[in-house]
Amino acid sequence: MSGTKRKPLIGVSACRKQIDPHPFNIVGEKYINGIVDGADAMPMMIPPLGDRLDIEELLGRVDGLLLTGSPSNIEPRHYGGKNSVPPHDPHRDATTLKLLRRAVERAIPLLAICRGCQEVNVAYGGTLHSQLDQVEGLIRHREDSARPLEEQYAPTHKLELTDTGLLASLVGTTEVSVNSLHTQGVAELGTGLVVEATAPDGLIEAFSVQGSAAFSLAVQWHPEWKVVENPFYLAIFRAFGAACRQRLAGVV
């Protein structure tokens, strides 16, 4: 409608999945819901085309970037790992690892979730634990896939938030509870990344990009899950959406 103020457009990373003889580009609906219901923005899928995707043109059209979780893991060659649990998605790796660095450099708000969080760490030179359940001293971070979704995505452990960090400023506390559905996690944090939250076992579960001119946050849990029902999760998406609106308005 003419004269109506448009909502910010947020690019959403997609995965490549083979279904029968054809490859498909897919995005989990819960991430779309997070953008629409939590960030009050418009989602746009970013296909995992690697070098065929004009990153600069894409970033010139979006007001924010959401890196989603995925059934796949990053290929270990990107972080010097020796092995990794399949499946992998080299098409997504070839797209997001370049895309996210340029988004931050161009002051485009970034929210990265689960695999997306790991992508940010790897893109900044960090490493990953390929299988958290094989690391001594860590609590269980993987969901029980035999349980109903409501139980899989229920809060399972607490987080300690950095008292001077972005996350703590959003909720006014340094302790929250979150869900936990990931096979891999941060081993060594990448250069220029700042810890925002840790699990009780010391595993880094959230970080931001130091010196970023725009909102740049990576979280290992899933705040998109029923985002409007969880005040902490909703605060993250609202802050992300507000940053995208600032970008749209030319504030950043």
Options 91, 119, 224, 244, the catalytic residue: 224
- Residue 224 known to be catalytic: yes
DSSP codes, 62-97: -SEEEE---SSB--GGGTT-S--PSPB-HHHHHHHH
Round the CA-based radius of gyration of the chain to a whole number and report it: 17
Q: 240 phi and psi, to 5 degrees?
A: -65, -45
Contact yes or no for 202/165 (Cβ under 8 A): no
Count of CB atoms situated within 10 Å of the CB of 63: 24
CA nearest to 92, candidates 55, 60, 119, 64:
119
Catalytic residue among 15, 114, 117, 244: 114
Q: Let me know if 222 is a catalytic residue.
A: yes
Q: Which one of the listed residues 91, 117, 222, 244 is annotated catalytic?
A: 222
DSSP, collapsed to helix, strand or coil, labels residue 152 as helix
Q: Name the residue among 207, 178, 51, 36 with its Cα closest to residue 118.
A: 207
Cα–Cα distance, 195 to 113 (Å, whole number)? 15
Number of Cβ atoms within 10 Å of the Cβ of 128? 24
Q: Are 114 and 180 in contact (CB under 8 A)?
A: no
Give me the active site residues, please: 114, 222, 224
